[in-house]
Copies of this chain bind each other. A is one copy, B any other.
Amino acid sequence: MADAHAVAFAPGHVTVFFGPHRRDDPERSGSTGAGITLTDGVTVRVGPGEGVSLNGSAVTIAAVERVLERFTPLRVEAETPLPIGAGFGVSGACALGTAFGANAVTGAGRTENDLIAIAHRADVEAATGLGDVVAQARGGIPLRLEPGAPPHGVLDGIPGAGRIEYRSFGAMDTAAVLAGDADRLREAAERGMERVLDRPALPVLFAAGRRFSEETDLGSSRTRSAIEAVRTGGGEAAMAMLGETVIALGSGLSEAGIDASACRVHPTGAGLRPPEP
C-alpha cells in the first residue's frame, strides 16, 4: 500500500475577502471569507530522503516542516508557476500536497479530512495562512462560512467556472496585516458574505472583494490603478488577500493592457495525482 514516491496537486487560492478567527486550538482557528481556486497550483512530489525544494531551489517552508513532523522525514519537491508570498496560498498548497503525498508514501492510513486537518493546523501554526488549506482541499469558488479544519469548518461554494487572469506586483506582509484590527476585517468580511450569499455569482464576488479592500484599506496604488483600468474596460477585478496582486475575470487584465498570467477556476480539490503508467 505504501509507494516509493507519490505526487499530489493542490490548486492555488486567492482570497477575495476574509475575517480572521483565532482560537486556542489551531484546528478551530481559521478565517471566514470567499476566494477562487486556480488551475495554477502546486505539484508536490514526496519520496524517500530529506529536504524541501521549491522550483528546484532548496527552501524551508515552515508549514511543510510541521506536516512532516506528523509523518516521518521525507524529501519534498514542490513546483509551481505561482508567485510566492503574493496571496496565492502557495504555503498551504505545499502543506496539503505534502500531507497527501506523505500519507501515500508511508501508508499512514489517514482519511482525506485527517490530511486536510493536518495541513490546516500546520499553515495556521506557521502563521502563513488561515483559510487557504480548506479552500484548496475543496476546489471551485469556496465560501468559508465557518472557520477551521474538518469537522469544525463549514464550506459552501459559488457555482461557476471560467478563465481567471492574475498579475502580481509584489508580496505583502501577511503577519503585519493579521496583527492589525481583526474586528474591522471580520465586520467587512461579514458584509461581503451577505452580498455573495444573496447572489452567489462571480461578478458579485469581485464587487464584494473591491468593497472589502476599500473598507479595510488594504490596497496599494498599483492594485487600485490596475483594478480601475480593468473596470474602465468593463471587466471585473479585485485584489488578492494578501498580496500586491490583482485577479480579473476572463481577459480583464490583458484587455486593459496589463501583462497577466491566465488560468481557470479549478474544479477539483487537492488530491493525489494518479500514478504514472
Contact = CB atoms under 8 A, between A and B. Distances in A.
A157 B109 CA distance: 12
B111 A271 contact: no
A112 B159 contact: yes
A274 B111 contact: no
A129 interface: no
Contact of A158 (B112, B139, B199, B275): B112
Nearest to A267: B268
Given A112-B159, A162-B274, 14 more contacts: A100-B159, A107-B201, A109-B198, A111-B143, A111-B157, A111-B200, A112-B157, A115-B159, A140-B271, A160-B272, A161-B272, A161-B273, A161-B275, A267-B271
A4 interface: no
Interface stretch (A65-73, A148-156, A165-173): A148-156
Given A162-B274, A264-B274, A268-B139, A157 B113 contact: yes
A238 interface: no
A12 to B, nearest CB: 16
Could you tell me the dominant secondary structure of chain A's interface residues?
Answer: loop
A195 to B, nearest CB: 12
B159 A110 contact: yes
A156 B117 CA distance: 12
Interface size class of A (residues with CB under 8 A): 35 or more
Contacts of A150: 156
Nearest to A273: B161
9 contacts: A107-B201, A109-B198, A109-B201, A110-B200, A112-B156, A139-B268, A150-B156, A161-B273, A267-B271
Contacts of A157: 111-113
A85 interface: no
A29 to B, nearest CB: 21
Question: How many copies of this chain sit in the oligomeric assembly?
Answer: 2
A197 interface: yes
A10 to B, nearest CB: 12
Contact of A272 (B159, B197, B272): B159
A197 B161 contact: no
Contacts of A151: 154
A253 interface: no
A174 to B, nearest CB: 28
A209 to B, nearest CB: 17
Top 6 A-B residue pairs of the complex, sorted by shortest distance between their CB atoms: A112-B157, A161-B274, A268-B268, A113-B156, A111-B156, A267-B268
A103 interface: yes
A104 interface: yes
Contacts of A264: 274
